[in-house]
Amino acid sequence: MLIQSLFIVLATCMASFVNLCAYRLGQGQSPLSPHRSYCEHCRRELSWWQLLPILGYLFQVGRCRFCRQAINPYWPLSEAGCGLLMFCCSGTGILHNALVLIFLMTLLFIATTDLLYQVLYPLSLLGLTPLAGLLPDWHWLALSDILIGTCFLILIGLLTLPRHGMGSGDLMYLAVIFFFFGWYQGALLLLSACLLILPCFALARASIRLPFLPALCLATILVLLFSP
């Protein structure tokens, strides 16, 4: 229980850092410079208590202490979400928990960079490799699975890329997912992501391009948690 609690706290703290990295990379800044985090509206440096995951947002009642601008609720919600998912997926083994942590942080980074800047850093897909240890019966794919998966991806690409329905980043992510989950569960995951993003299409204006990777990342978690 102690190990689980430590990893849950670690997940919320690392989620805060991963969000910072995703935000700064899109701004062309290094994650380490400037050294102190700052308000994205007034650029004032934040105190240590303002940086506390989730609590910093609650202490400030959702508004920057200096300029009173609303803080993006995505930051505390994603930190809390990572803590909750760590709670759901963690066990007693340190190695298992470390794999879950790397996997969750990778999904958060991918979802955040797509949400903020509609970009996927291909190297970040390497962070999905812990799936090989987390999926109970993972094995290298048979040639037939690879062929079916490739045909499926090409078909999706031909149908969606010319209409800008999905981006090349979405397809790259799906290719990695198909590699680990197989084409059948991968297709299930894609269907789940489509269902998750459907209400957003109904609410959003037609001119807005919705990022799909956050829905794919969320669907990955759901398939991992609930598929038999």
The pair of three-digit structure tokens given for residue 153, joined into one six-digit string: 């991806």
Based on CB atoms, which residue is closest to Zn ion, 39 or 222?
A: 39
The DSSP letter of residue 204 is: S
Q: What is the DSSP letter of 87?
A: H
Look up residue 151 and give its two tokens: 């045909």
Query: Omega of the bond prior to 34 within 30 degrees of 0, cis?
Result: yes
Q: Is 72 in the site for Zn ion (CB under 5 A)?
A: no
Q: How far is the CB of 35 from Zn ion (least distance, A)?
A: 18
* Residue closer to Zn ion, measured from CB, 72 or 185: 72
Between 42 and 132, name the residue whose CB sits nearer to Zn ion.
42
Write out the two tokens for 218.
């969320």
Q: Is 175 in the site for Zn ion (CB under 5 A)?
A: no
The yes or no reply on residue 67 touching Zn ion (CB under 5 A) is yes
66 binds Zn ion (CB under 5 A): yes
Q: What are phi and psi of 76, to 5 degrees?
A: -65, -35
The distance of closest approach from Cβ of residue 28 to Zn ion in the complex, given in angstroms and rounded to an integer, is 21
Main-chain dihedrals φ then ψ at residue 94, nearest 5 degrees: -70, -40
Answer yes or no whether residue 64 interacts with Zn ion by CB under 5 A: yes
CA dihedral 99→104→105→107, nearest 10 degrees, is: 130
> CB of residue 27 vs Zn ion: minimum separation in angstroms?
16
Q: Which is nearer to Zn ion, 57 or 173 (CB)?
A: 57
Distances (CA, A) of 196 to 26, 64, 81, 151, 200: 26, 31, 16, 24, 8
Residue type, 189: L
Q: Is 41 in the site for Zn ion (CB under 5 A)?
A: yes
Q: Does residue 36 belong to the site contacting Zn ion (CB under 5 A)?
A: no
Among 42, 94, 191, 195, binds Zn ion (CB under 5 A): 42
The binding site for Zn ion (CB under 5 A) comprises 39, 41-42, 64, 66-67
